[in-house]
């Protein structure tokens, strides 16, 4: 699969250019549209992901035009710390679910954005293996790792195309138990059972 196809499969749901604007600018449009906004401060906006891959899926963006994780440097430590503080508020407000926060190693959409996503991964928009692996493998770089790397090294290294491709091609495996589905429909059915059976889900291997 070409790099462009792979990127599209993660973030872009349609090839159509809307209002003549390139699809990769969609987050910048959404962060300026009150109906998409969940929370905002002077420097940061949190929007609802338009194609959520779990029951809760937000994107946190800076108002400053930082293009991606690869443009981060030590000057951005303060905005990253503000990300962390808003993240804590969001975790407090959603105590009934487990949330994780991080960045895709190779993002498809413009403007730095941190995913805040519940670990159920139950959503009609979660359709492809690439969607799954982009949140459950090392393709997903946790917030704490990004902050640490920027504090220590002042930059995030670009992931090699070989590693990027192999991570997104990783064999499917449940993120809550050892179940290995044959395909996405099987995995989706299985994930729904984890939600249905709630607290018992870590003890059982549903098939």
- Binding interface with ligand AMP (CB under 6 A): 10-11, 26-27, 30, 47, 49-51, 59, 104, 107-109
Say if strands 114-118 and 57-62 run parallel, antiparallel, or are unpaired: antiparallel
Active-site position among 36, 57, 76, 113: 113
User: Minimum Å distance from CB 121 to ligand AMP?
Assistant: 12
Kindly identify the residues of this chain, within the stretch 9-48, that bind Zn ion according to CB under 5 A: none
132 belongs to the binding site for Zn ion (CB under 5 A)? no
Q: Which one of residues 177, 180, 184, 192 is an interface residue with Zn ion (CB under 5 A)?
A: 177
**Which tokens hold the place of 132?**
């799954």
Give Rg (Cα) of the chain.
17
User: Minimum Å distance from CB 146 to ligand AMP?
Assistant: 13
Q: Go through 162-192 and write b for each residue having 16 or more CB atoms within 10 A of its CB, e for each that does not.
A: eebeebbeeebebbbeebebeebeebbebbe
Cβ atoms 37, 52 nearer than 8 A:
no
179 belongs to the binding site for Zn ion (CB under 5 A)? yes
Q: In degrees, to the nearest 5, what angle opens at C-alpha 176 toward C-alphas 6 and 166?
A: 25
174 belongs to the binding site for Zn ion (CB under 5 A)? yes
Query: Out of ligand AMP, Zn ion, none, which partner does residue 179 contact, by CB within 5 to 8 A per kind?
Result: Zn ion
Long-range pairs of 76-80 with CB within 8 A, sequence gap ≥ 24: 76/150, 77/147, 77/150, 77/151, 79/43, 79/44, 80/146, 80/147, 80/150
Distance of CA 106 to the CA centre of its chain: 11
120 belongs to the binding site for Zn ion (CB under 5 A)? no
Query: Out of Zn ion, ligand AMP, none, which partner does residue 50 contact, by CB within 5 to 8 A per kind?
Result: ligand AMP
77 belongs to the binding site for Zn ion (CB under 5 A)? no
**For ligand AMP, the closer CB: 14 or 202:** 14
Closest CA to 117 of 139, 140, 84, 138: 140
Q: Please give the backbone phi and psi of residue 76, each rounded to the nearest 5 degrees, phi first.
A: -95, 5
- Catalytic, 113? Answer yes
**For Zn ion, the closer CB: 131 or 176:** 176
Applying CB under 5 A, the span of 27-35, 45-53, 158-166, 176-184 interacting with Zn ion comes to 176-184
User: Minimum Å distance from CB 193 to ligand AMP?
Assistant: 24
Size of the site for Zn ion (CB under 5 A): 4
Active site residues: 113
């Amino acid at each position: 699969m070409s790099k462009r196809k792979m990127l599209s499969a993660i973030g872009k749901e349609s090839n159509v250019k809307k209002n003549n604007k390139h699809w990769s600018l969609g987050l910048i449009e959404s962060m300026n549209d009150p109906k998409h906004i969940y929370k905002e401060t002077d420097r940061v906006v949190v929007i609802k992901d338009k194609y959520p891959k779990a029951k809760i899926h937000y994107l946190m963006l800076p108002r400053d035009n930082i293009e991606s994780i690869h443009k981060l440097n030590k000057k951005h430590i303060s905005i990253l710390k503000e990300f962390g503080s808003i993240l804590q508020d969001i975790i407090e407000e959603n105590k009934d679910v487990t949330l994780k926060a991080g960045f895709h190693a190779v993002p498809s959409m413009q403007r730095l954005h941190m995913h805040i996503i519940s670990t159920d991964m139950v959503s009609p928009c979660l359709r492809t293996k690439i969607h799954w692996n982009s949140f459950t493998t090392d393709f997903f770089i946790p917030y704490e790792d990004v902050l640490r790397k920027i504090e220590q090294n002042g930059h995030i290294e670009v992931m090699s195309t070989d590693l990027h491709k192999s991570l997104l091609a990783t064999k499917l495996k449940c993120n809550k138990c050892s179940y290995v589905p044959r395909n996405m429909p099987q995995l989706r059915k299985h994930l729904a059972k984890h939600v249905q059976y709630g607290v018992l889900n870590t003890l059982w291997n549903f098939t």
